[in-house]
Structure 1
Amino acid sequence: MTLDFTGVFPAMTTPFDADGSIDFQTLRDDARRLESAGVDGLVPAGSTGESATLTHDEHVEVIEAVVDAVDDVPVIAGSGSNSTHEALSLSQRAEAAGADALLLISPYYNKPEPAGMEDHYRQIADAVDVPIVVYNVPSRTGRSIDVDTAVALASHENVRGYKAASGDLGAISEICERTREEDFAVLSGDDPLTLPIQSVGGTGVISVTANVEPERMCALVDAANADDYAAAREIHHELGPLFRQLFVETNPIPVKEAMAIRGYGPARLRAPLTRLSEQHVDDLRAVLAALDDTPDPDLQEADR
């Protein structure tokens, strides 16, 4: 499969049974639901999938389940760690499980210097035969991947993308600018910044919101990629209240609640995460109800 890192790639949640084990049937059903909605790929076992509380064996089992469930969309599997040795092992196991590409969060807690950050990714890119996407989310890792490091990594033939979740639009724009001649995609990692990032050269989004509103997210990204920014802005503003509600508490707490409200799966999380606070549940229900009551005519015409 030749991967095109353009479009909407839901950052999938991992559903759990009451005993805390993975609910694989719901996971497979969710993968098929998202594929049917027209997304361009799936991203299991990432931050939204509670990767921090999955064992390495569970990582692989989640990836295998999603790969087996879908027919035509690529699977970009989370396989990062703050240990290069562990990230390399997990990446090789994810590749063997059928992943079409890998999403690697930057090393967290130990906060490597730029040289160590670049070496971390190069070691893994050299060792696997599937493309990797570099994931920058300093709010979780404690250290941002600087622009020069991201640009240097883009020259590696196996580093094909960058998930931008720093919130620094200036830095993201510079990465887009300086990698224009590379086979390298910049994907938003912040749903509210998807449209601004596309306006400076981004190709799409690895999205939390797409778990709940895949069709609208696809319509937004498709419109921006077609340079129809008026339509894209309309959908962006329509989704604005949901963007805000899905991040009132730590991701994936709100999105799991939203999926439960929509009937897509349980809202259970692994400790130390807890259910969405009651003070936010009614607001989330109201936002979802408003979206249910106001279908976007552009969505009905979208050919996906």
Structure 2
Amino acid sequence: MLDGVLFFPVTPFTTSGEVDYDLLAAHIAKGVDAGPGGVFIACGTGEFHALEIEEFGKIVRTAVDITAGRVPVYAGAGGSVAQAKAFAASAKSNGADGILLLPPYLVTMPQAGLVNYTKAVAAASDLPLIVYNRGNARFDEASAVEVAQLPTVVGFKDGTGDLDQVGRIVRAVLDALEPSGKPFQFFNGLPTAEVSQQAYRAIGVTLYSSATFAFAPELALAFYQSMENGNDKLTAALLRDFFHPLVRLRDKVPGYAVSLIKAGVTMEGIEAGPVRPPLVDISAPHLEELTAIVAAGRAVLADELAVH
């Protein structure tokens, strides 16, 4: 079972667009040393959509080698059913501890089709699998219960923000699994999940993905601890001075949920390189804004330390 702040590394690219595995290793090592609860490699923040299978396998292997069993390593899988099965098999053969199942490619599907997609990928390896409820892969209560009962499905991650629906899914899944006692976890997977985590906690979703951890782990950890310890004043200050401004900047350009994180990683000393198309790198004025936002967040922590 996972706990703590979940680390979603970026995938560093060279200026010519190739994966820089040395910088990837350095990035993962720095993040794991900061103390996350798990590493989710080659997922949304890691530009899974832009990776081919050989790159993916090497990226997963790098994460597994650098992490060295200190925390679990989950890898992304998705796209067409054939691609998703191939990525799941590669994750297994390269030592991953689990899979985050990303949405199928493009198509809108009936609930039965979404369940069948999940079953097909789950059958491709015996790794624990977390389903991702977002985009065109939106579960209802019945389909969520059905996939939750698959032997290897261990979690449900939401990226829709539909708290009404998700709250009903949480209740339905927990009730269905109670007789068997099967462990199961729920995750908030919205971009910059910290800004919605108070609402998700209210419906029983205590885990979340933190893109911020990739470049400012001390801010991500401070927010997590403030939530866990009921430090409402620090939670509010971090939201007001760091996370809300970060979201405002993120929303200025589609794809900045990844581009800003890569820029932050570079800003903090590891050259993450450009994003791959169709994403775009952040502009110079936006980099200045990001720098100021991070400084403001760290000022909040400095004030907190001064008080205590």
Aligning the two structures, in what range does the TM-score lie when normalised by the shorter sequence? 0.7 to 0.9
Which has the larger displacement, 117-126 or 238-247? 238-247
Normalising by structure 2, we get a TM-score of 0.87
The question of 1:95 aligning with 2:87 is answered no
The question of 1:63 aligning with 2:56 is answered no
The question of 1:271 aligning with 2:274 is answered no
Candidates 217, 220, 231, aligned match of 2:220: 217
The question of 1:116 aligning with 2:110 is answered no
Match of 1:184 in 2: 184
Counting only pairs closer than 5 Å after superposition, residues 120-131 of structure 1 correspond to structure 2 as 120-131=117-128
Label 1:244 to 1:208 Cα distance change in 2 as closer, same or farther (>3 A): farther
Offset from partner CA, 1:52-97 (integer Å, 9 cap, x none) = 111111111110111111130111101122x212211210111110
One-letter amino acid matched to 1:42 = V
Q: What is the alpha-carbon distance in structure 2 between the residues aligned to residue 75 and residue 248 of structure 1?
A: 32
SS at match of 1:240: helix
Counting only pairs closer than 5 Å after superposition, residues 192-207 of structure 1 correspond to structure 2 as 192-207=195-210
Which has the larger displacement, 15-24 or 146-155? 146-155
Q: What is the alpha-carbon distance in structure 2 between the residues aligned to residue 196 and residue 298 of structure 1?
A: 24
Offset from partner CA, 1:82-132 (integer Å, 9 cap, x none) = x21221121011111000010011213122210010011122223422100
Measure how far apart 1:292 and its partner are: 3.0
The question of 1:76 aligning with 2:79 is answered no
Candidates 273, 277, 284, aligned match of 2:290: 284
Q: What is the alpha-carbon distance in structure 2 between the residues aligned to residue 28 and residue 45 of structure 1?
A: 13
Which has the larger displacement, 217-226 or 104-113? 217-226
Measure how far apart 1:210 and its partner are: 1.6
Label 1:152 to 1:215 Cα distance change in 2 as closer, same or farther (>3 A): farther
Which has the larger displacement, 41-50 or 124-133? 124-133
Label 1:73 to 1:93 Cα distance change in 2 as closer, same or farther (>3 A): same
Which has the larger displacement, 87-96 or 257-266? 257-266
Matched pairs, number: 294
Label 1:80 to 1:155 Cα distance change in 2 as closer, same or farther (>3 A): same
One-letter amino acid matched to 1:294 = V
The question of 1:167 aligning with 2:161 is answered yes
- Runs (5+) with no aligned partner, structure 2: none
Counterpart contact for 1:247–1:254, Cα < 8 Å: no
- Runs (5+) with no aligned partner, structure 1: none
Root mean square deviation of aligned Cα: 2.3
Identity of aligned residues (%): 27
Question: Hey, which bits of structure 1, 4+ residues long, moved more than 6 A?
Answer: 297-300
Q: What is the alpha-carbon distance in structure 1 between the residues aligned to residue 226 and residue 129 of structure 2?
A: 26
SS at match of 1:95: helix
Q: What is the alpha-carbon distance in structure 1 between the residues aligned to residue 170 and residue 277 of structure 2?
A: 37
Match of 1:242 in 2: 246
Which has the larger displacement, 224-233 or 31-40? 224-233
Which has the larger displacement, 262-271 or 221-230? 221-230
Q: What is the alpha-carbon distance in structure 2 between the residues aligned to residue 207 and residue 299 of structure 1?
A: 23
The question of 1:294 aligning with 2:297 is answered no
Measure how far apart 1:17 and its partner are: 0.9
Which has the larger displacement, 7-16 or 57-66? 7-16
SS at match of 2:100: strand
